[in-house]
Amino acid sequence: MPRLSRRLVALALTGTLAAGLAACTSTVPMEPAANANDPACAEVIVRLPDSLDGQERRWTDAQATGAWGEPAAVLLTCGLETPAPSTLRCITLGGVDWLVDESESPRFRLTTYGRSPAVEVYLDNEVVSPNVVLDALSISVGTLPEVGACVDPEGLPEDSDEG
């Protein structure tokens, strides 16, 4: 076989192999949050667990993010603005307060409350337990500076008509 033909065959095989490997990548495409470059997010990301509720961690293509499961059952993004007071249910697990948005059930969006920057976890409740996931993430997310906390609506003073 002439030398040029061998090179063409080698290039064709290399291109085919590269395309095949790209199709098999385990990288999860994600978008970074506005404040993903906050050093506090780096502290969170280096402490993320290798698995969450039986789901193995996967690579992501965005700064300050994490993903677990195949397909991804848990997505984490650090660097969001700290949420304002909300009427969403607020739970505390592992010393971290979370706002719970169940509007896309069985997928839940959970956002840290009273931490800066904020972390959002989007998870599939049919694959993983939100309580197990949030408890496991509390070790890393708990490193974020605390700037507030959930309050029990039962403990708030009632509005008064008296001036």
Rounded Cα distance between 134 and 93, Å, is 7
pLDDT at 158: 56
Q: 114's torsion region: left (phi>0), alpha (psi -120 to 50) or beta?
A: left
- 3-state class (DSSP) for residue 133: helix
- Residues with Cβ within 8 Å of 43's Cβ and at least 6 positions away in sequence, in order, are 140, 143, 144
Token representation of residue 43: 């502290």
Buried/exposed code over 89-126 (b: 16+ C-beta within 10 A; e: otherwise): ebbebeebbbbbbeeeeebbbbbbbbbbbbbbbbbbee
pLDDT at 26: 81
pLDDT tens for the chain, residues 1 to 163:
554 444 433 333 333 333 333 345 589 999 999 999 999 999 999 999 999 999 999 999 999 999 999 999 999 999 999 999 999 999 999 999 999 999 999 999 999 999 999 999 999 999 999 999 999 999 999 999 999 999 876 555 555 444 4
Report the predicted TM-score, pTM, of the whole model to 2 decimal places.
0.79
